[in-house]
């Protein structure tokens, strides 16, 4: 059997929040945000748009490109840290909205590495089970809901969006998935977290007063670990596949900060021209970011079959990893 990407789709909410808009909200400047992060603007969902709405819009586009009906989807995996509810899962809500009556549904909580984890699970499901043929992998975030808009250390970084990929079994033997590593180090959980709302700190007046329902981050620590984690995983998958950095057509890193992306590329010896970035227009959209890149690249015809594409990500958990694809669409 082979595996291919049968369809991709993405959705970014209509409202755009620029760095100049942020200057009016917290003590910051367009210049600081651009030079420290590379971000110029981000999309922000409307009050009545929930995470599953963004996910559904992206999924419908991916289904249309694949020429599949929702009933043909065997599994829906939604990677998110800003889903509609603690439960039911956002995957179940998406299932209902698109009418994918035959799908198993599972949310994946691996923060910014969510899409990589989702692709890893999809690869395992397709390879391990005859009964699965079409898996819908979605990364979707309404981060604006969990961002502390009074905290300039974090609020300038994040944005909302969603992307969907349909990963499909084929009759040929083109593998798509060449090598992967998805890892975590739970010892560093506290440096990037949303403290309250779970059983550790259930919602209370106190937790609200202390702003514990918003994301907290130790930026510099995350920065260092991000570079080391992504570089290490990329080297592992390249070694495993017997591929060298100069054979990589595109490095698609999780879009966190252009300084992180450049540091990773430089340590891997991948020229900047081969690194895809769109964070200037989206900010950090966590689990959606790699998918938003892939969708844009497919639409702009920047990828062709046979290209080696290296995905890498890092996020809360801590989670990190890399995946080498031989593009097949
Ligand atoms: O998806 C994974 C999630 N997270 C990340 O990838 C984030 C990783 N970390 C980063 O991207 C960077 O650490 C940041 C962009 C968050 C911060 O950049 P930095 O170069 O590490 O800045 P810093 O934290 O060292 O702060 C430098 C200065 C500080 O002022 P003082 O102490 O030097 O006077 C901050 O208070 O910049 C100040 N600062 C700001 N100034 C204007 C922090 N945020 C802002 C802001 N506007 N928004």
Q: Is the peptide bond prior to 41 cis by the omega test (within 30 degrees of 0)?
A: no
Residue the block writes with tokens 């691996």: 110
Distance from C-alpha of 72 to C-alpha of 4, rounded to nearest angstrom: 16
| Residue 209 confidence (pLDDT) | 97
Nearest CA to ligand 1 atom 17: 219
Cα–ligand 1 centroid distance for 214 (angstroms): 17
DSSP state at residue 125: H
pLDDT digits over 172-199, tens only?
999 999 999 999 999 999 999 999 999 9
pLDDT digits over 43-88, tens only?
999 999 999 999 999 999 999 999 999 999 999 999 999 999 999 9
Residues having CB within 6 Å of any atom of ligand 1: 28, 32, 36-37, 112, 152-153, 156, 192, 217, 219-220, 222-223, 226, 254, 256-257, 260, 284, 314-315
Q: In this structure, which CATH number among 3.30.70.890, 3.40.47.10, 3.30.1310.10, 3.40.50.150 belongs to the domain 177-326?
A: 3.40.47.10
Whether 284 sits among the annotated catalytic residues: the reply is yes
Q: Which residues contact 51 (CB under 8 A, 6 or more apart)?
A: 80, 82, 83, 84, 90, 140, 141, 142, 162
Whether 92 sits among the annotated catalytic residues: the reply is no
| Residue 154 confidence (pLDDT) | 97
2-170 folds as Peroxisomal Thiolase; Chain A, domain 1 (3.40.47)
Whether 257 sits among the annotated catalytic residues: the reply is no
* pLDDT, average across residues 206-224: 97
* Residue among 201, 227, 226, 225 at smallest CA distance from 214: 201
pLDDT digits over 156-175, tens only?
999 999 999 999 999 999 99
Q: What is the pTM of this model?
A: 0.97
pLDDT digits over 267-283, tens only?
999 999 999 999 999 99
pLDDT digits over 261-270, tens only?
999 999 999 9
Cα–ligand 1 centroid distance for 221 (angstroms): 11
Cα–ligand 1 centroid distance for 305 (angstroms): 39
Cα distances (angstroms) measured from residue 304 to each of 5, 66, 250: 12, 17, 11
Domain boundaries, the chain: 2-170, 177-326
**Considering the chain, what is the average pLDDT of its residues?**
97
pLDDT digits over 28-44, tens only?
999 999 999 999 999 99
Cα–ligand 1 centroid distance for 195 (angstroms): 20
Distance from C-alpha of 301 to C-alpha of 237, rounded to nearest angstrom: 25
With cut-offs at 50, 70 and 90, classify the pLDDT of residue 202.
Answer: very high
Nearest CA to ligand 1 atom 35: 153
Q: Which one of 19, 257, 284, 328 is the catalytic residue?
A: 284
Q: Which atom of ligand 1 has the smallest separation from the CA of 256?
A: 6
| Residue 240 confidence (pLDDT) | 97
């Amino acid at each position: 059997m082979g595996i291919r990407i049968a369809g991709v789709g993405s959705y970014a909410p209509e409202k755009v929040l620029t760095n100049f808009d942020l200057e009016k909200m917290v003590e910051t400047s367009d210049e600081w945000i651009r030079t420290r992060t590379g971000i110029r603007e981000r999309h922000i969902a409307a009050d009545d748009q929930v995470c599953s709405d963004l996910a559904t819009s992206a999924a419908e586009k991916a289904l249309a490109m694949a020429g599949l009906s929702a009933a043909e989807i065997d599994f829906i995996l939604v990677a998110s840290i800003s889903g509609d509810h603690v439960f039911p899962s956002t995957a179940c809500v998406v299932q209902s909205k698109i009418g994918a009556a035959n799908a198993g549904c599972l949310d994946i909580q691996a923060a910014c590495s969510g899409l990589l984890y989702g692709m890893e699970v999809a690869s395992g499901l397709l390879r391990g089970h005859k009964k699965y043929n079409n898996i819908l992998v979605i990364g979707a975030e309404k981060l604006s809901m969990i961002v502390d808009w009074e905290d300039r250390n974090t609020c300038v970084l994040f944005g909302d969006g969603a992307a969907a990929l349909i990963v499909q079994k084929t009759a040929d033997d083109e593998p798509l998935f060449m090598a992967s590593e998805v890892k975590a180090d739970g010892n560093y959980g506290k440096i990037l977290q949303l403290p309250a709302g779970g059983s550790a700190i259930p919602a209370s007046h106190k937790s609200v007063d202390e702003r514990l329902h918003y994301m907290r981050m130790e930026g510099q620590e995350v920065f260092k670990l991000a570079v080391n984690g992504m570089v290490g995983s990329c080297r592992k998958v390249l070694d495993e596949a017997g591929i060298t950095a100069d054979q990589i057509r595109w490095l698609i890193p999780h879009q966190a900060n252009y300084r992180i992306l450049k540091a990773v590329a430089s340590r891997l010896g991948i020229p900047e021209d081969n690194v895809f970035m769109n964070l200037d227009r989206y900010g950090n959209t966590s689990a959606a970011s790699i998918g938003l890149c892939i969708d844009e690249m497919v639409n702009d015809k920047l990828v062709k079959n046979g290209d080696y594409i290296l995905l890498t990500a890092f996020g809360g958990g801590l989670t990190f990893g890399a995946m080498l694809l031989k593009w097949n669409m």
